[in-house]
Amino acid sequence: MPKIIKRDGHTHTHYCLHASGEHAEEYVRRAIEKGFTMYSFTEHLPFPDSFWSFFPYSEGTKRQLGLRDNDLDGYFREMYALKKKYRDRIELKVGLEIDFLPTETAYLRRMLKEYGKFLEDGLLSVHIIEGCGGFRCVDVSPADFEEGVIKHYGSYEEAQKAYFQTVKEALRTDLGPYKPKRIGHFTLCNKFQCYFGQEGKMSEATRNLVVDLLKEMKEQGYSLDVNVAGLFKEYCREIYLSPWIVQAAKQLGIPLVYGSDAHASSQVGRAYEEYEQIVGEKNGES
């Protein structure tokens, strides 16, 4: 009988300065307790110094987006040590979540070239798009999204489109052979949808854009992070990959990978049953 795979493909560690601070080993123990057989460390790649001048946020916010001690080598060393320590109990994959920044592709290429050989898994995510005063996060707060993004584009719908256009650019940008092949939380732009009365709403034009992007992902051999974090966000209340997109992706045969996006050990494996229900598969993945 084939071994059943239960995988958490999106997690953070004590290297993340906006996570709980618990050691990655605590997360791994929780994954084992919950019966996971495969688990990816996907820590955020730190931002380059050149980026900060285009990022109109407080020093505190900037610091929180950094990596502890800016020690990427230490991250890889520690995660590989855990991989070895737990190899008989769970398959640990060492990876990164790469934040696509359209103006920093040279930096991304350079980092992927340098660290690519250590990457066993990876996510390509968009959290930040062009907005008022430079680059703005789409996931900080409703007020920040309104001021920085919606006002810049003129409407919620146009902001949504701009987000997906940035994902399109991420898909089409050459980042070298180690570019991650899984798109993280593809509908993160909907994090505050309920706050703006937009839940479940997407114009036909935006839907068409999303479907075109899915086709492009399929052609390029991408998979998708089915990220349950959105279920726990007050103003989102749905997974990232709105359920209709899950169905469209399934129809196209795009592999779907569960992601808890855990920033605390208690979040590892959260809402896995809901994921199975939405994806319509028991104990497995494509």
Binding residues (CB under 5 A) for Zn ion: these are 125, 184
As measured in angstroms, the least distance from the Cβ of 185 to Zn ion is 6
As measured in angstroms, the least distance from the Cβ of 43 to Zn ion is 8
As measured in angstroms, the least distance from the Cβ of 3 to Zn ion is 29
Maximum CA pair distance of the chain?
A: 57
Say if CB 168 and CB 222 are below 8 A apart. Answer: no
Query: In the complex with Zn ion, which residue's Cβ is closer, 95 or 184?
Result: 184
As measured in angstroms, the least distance from the Cβ of 46 to Zn ion is 12
As measured in angstroms, the least distance from the Cβ of 127 to Zn ion is 6
Give the C-alpha distances (Å, rounded to integers) separating 204 from 95, 159, 161, 210: 36, 15, 11, 10
| DSSP H stretches of helix in the chain | 24-33, 59-64, 72-85, 105-115, 142-145, 151-153, 156-172, 204-220, 243-252, 272-279
As measured in angstroms, the least distance from the Cβ of 283 to Zn ion is 25
As measured in angstroms, the least distance from the Cβ of 44 to Zn ion is 6
Q: Which letter does DSSP use for residue 148 in this model?
A: I
φ, ψ (nearest 5 deg) of residue 181: -115, 25
Query: In the complex with Zn ion, which residue's Cβ is closer, 171 or 281?
Result: 171
Starting at the edge strand that comes first in sequence, how are the strands of the sheet with 121-125 ordered?
A: 7-8, 38-44, 91-99, 121-125, 182-183, 223-227, 256-259
Query: In the complex with Zn ion, which residue's Cβ is closer, 125 or 160?
Result: 125
Query: In the complex with Zn ion, which residue's Cβ is closer, 107 or 207?
Result: 107
Query: In the complex with Zn ion, which residue's Cβ is closer, 37 or 173?
Result: 173
The H-or-E segment that residue 257 falls in is strand 256-259
* Residues 274, 279, 281, 284, CA torsion sign: negative
Query: In the complex with Zn ion, which residue's Cβ is closer, 11 or 193?
Result: 11
Which residue's CB comes closest to Zn ion? 125
Say if CB 254 and CB 222 are below 8 A apart. Answer: yes
> Pairing state of beta strands 38-44 and 7-8?
parallel
Query: In the complex with Zn ion, which residue's Cβ is closer, 219 or 234?
Result: 234
